[in-house]
Structure 1
Amino acid sequence: MATAPEVEAPADPLEAFRAQARAWLAENFPPALKGKDNSMSAVEGPTELNADEAAWKQAMGEKGWGVPTWPAEYGGGGLDRAEARVLAEEMGRIGAWNPIGGMGVMMFGPTLLEYGSEAQKREHIPPIVRGEIRWCQGYSEPNAGSDLANLQTFAEDRGDHYVVNGQKTWTSGGQWADKCFALVRTDKSKKHEGISFLLIDMDTPGVEVRPIRLISGSSPFCETFFTDVKVPKANLVGRVGEGWTIGKRLLQHERSSLSGGGSTAGRMFLGEPISSIAKRWLGTDDQGRIADLDLRTRIVRHEMDLRAFLLTLRRAQLEAKSNQGPSATSSIMKNVGARIMQERSELLIEIRGLAGLGWEGEGFGEEELKDVRTWLFGKAVSIYGGSTEIQNNVIAKRILGMLDHQ
């Protein structure tokens, strides 16, 4: 009796994708960029790209893998979450980094995919995917920070367009941005229901940007003024009065990125272990441990907290369903991530001693000066994206179920 021929078991689809991703990365990622910082996602202004950086950015933009899970119909990678994890693993294996970033990726793009019209998605998403455009955020105002719903920037309906007048502050990267996604008031008789979500071209007549110089010496934030700025009705996202709902959703995406899911925070967490830096600067005892017992104890606690945080963040990302965005738990991650980031900076300053107090001049190395400025800039981490106190309110109400006392 003849035996049936053996049928080869189908290959694991994920492993097939891994092989595909590995081959593509080997062909397109310039080895000279291995393990280097991503200068393209710097907080400050646009940096001039060298030939390797430009080629890598173009390749990732055309492939859509800078935003791997975004829909392919708008230029995104079209990958599911499992495939995106494989891609991240393969990039990490060769020291590759994502050259596509900024507020368009962190906040605006995911929000537009959920609330934007088809025409808006086709207009705005592809340039974000290719890294061709910079967005800034018009939320906070001089009298509307923590109480954001108190914003007064007014968009007057003029038939086929709005005329916007008002002021925003702490506009990150406003002086370099091409466009701004802004919360504006379209109805002065209602607080939350009177807010709408509007897209504004930064080169429109009447838009003025003034950089704010920070204690760290950088100027990534701005004051932004709108004086009789004409904005087409087509730039309204969602319905009139729906801005508060859309704006809150965008903030969840922002907090998710700031907690460590995004590139900026992630690079801070994944630097050289602070215990290794301490050993180089302070020396070790006869057992190879950091010589200073008290500092050693605090560093161990810090690294334990960091490891637990990264594992928790990873678990949250793995458990998220593909049709769900970030939830209120992003407020927990944001608060914990901010504390750990600030703690790392403070420990680095302590480890370096007098060398950790440099501002400029001879006698201080590049890394020492960078750590000082990072420490000073890091004071803002527990404020921007929603202050620690605001996140505590979100956690109390939306996670713990605690209601306001009447």
Structure 2
Amino acid sequence: MPDTAPGTSGPRVDWANFQNEIYAAGLFGGAVPRLPTDLAQLEELAARRLPPGPVGYVAGNAGDGSTARANREALDRLRIVPRMLRDVAERDLTVDLFGTRLPAPLALAPVGVQSIMHPDAEPGAARAAAAVGVPYTTSSASSVPMEEIAAAAGDAPRWFQLYWPKDRDVAVSFLDRARACGYSALVVTLDTWLLSWRPRDLDQAYLPFLRGVGTANYFSDPAFQAGLAKPVAEDPGAAVQHFLRMFADPTKTWGDLGFLREHWDGPIVLKGIQHPDDARRAADSGMDGIVVSNHGGRQVSGAVGSAAALPGIVSAVGDRLTVLFDSGIRSGADMLKALALGAQAVLLGRPYVYGLGLDGRAGVDHVIRSLLADFDLTLALSGYTAPGELTPDALTRLD
């Protein structure tokens, strides 16, 4: 199979070859992988090796964690039905998203405060994503300014995630800055107007923002600075309080989406959609895409699993919007299931952050390559050669 570098025309890559690299290294005396190749093991390993506050913040969920469990249960109830005697010697995982040809149906989800996990932080994760050509989504709550992350990504595709602040001037400034440093799509998170009740963080009284972590985009922003009586360095406590007052606005409604379109001329994707009617509202409002997501179970305890919500949403708007998926992806099989249900790509969240915490940028690289090798092999062994061939017929559902 051709192995074309990401970013060139037709970026087709033999992702499954990562398996051969690992075996060859072992055969010739090389070390075994530094991190597990089963990405579901990363959380437990991170919990053993890293401080409890940061790991708890990343791993924690709303309430009793039932929504995170529902995400996994919804995916696990779907079973792949492999097909035989099909020529699967060559696969092409490339997809088109928002006018860009990508090497695989994958992007890294927006995750803030990554410096609590490793000093490489968001720039390290962005470099790992850029090395293979998958989009990196910079969070509004990143540990370093968006410009530094954009520089780390180089010419690779990158998206910017907006926590829509109360202050209109700060929102406009964020969008102007993101556009100026090359972010091509805007991902607007809708499910975090308030922070949920998160026992794991509460039991440790641990919230990075109170320590000024995850505020870099705000503290470096001229519109934010204009609202301070003193420079950030002279009164960081006041800057944190200013940030907390404006971080999100629970009064926003569908009618406010026109503001985003007025100030952003690229694709706009709404993240956090769980109901078909909300998906229809997004399409009617002129949005370009949605992410079927429940924030990985971090916001509403007792909510529906994202994979259970996905089919109804695809049926409602799959011909009108680009439908992306996150919440619960841990393997190539999970990717295949989401794509078969109609998602056009998936966003990966916690696993790459655990990889970052355990081994910096190299850990993120390991996670991305492991996931895509697993997906490539699972796709072939199920009888398919491209994501676009997948339909719900590839699956059966356990009752």
TM tier relative to shorter chain:
under 0.3
**Could you tell me the TM-score, scaled by structure 1's length?**
0.25
Higher relative contact order (CA 8 A, sep 6+): 2
**Could you tell me the TM-score, scaled by structure 2's length?**
0.25
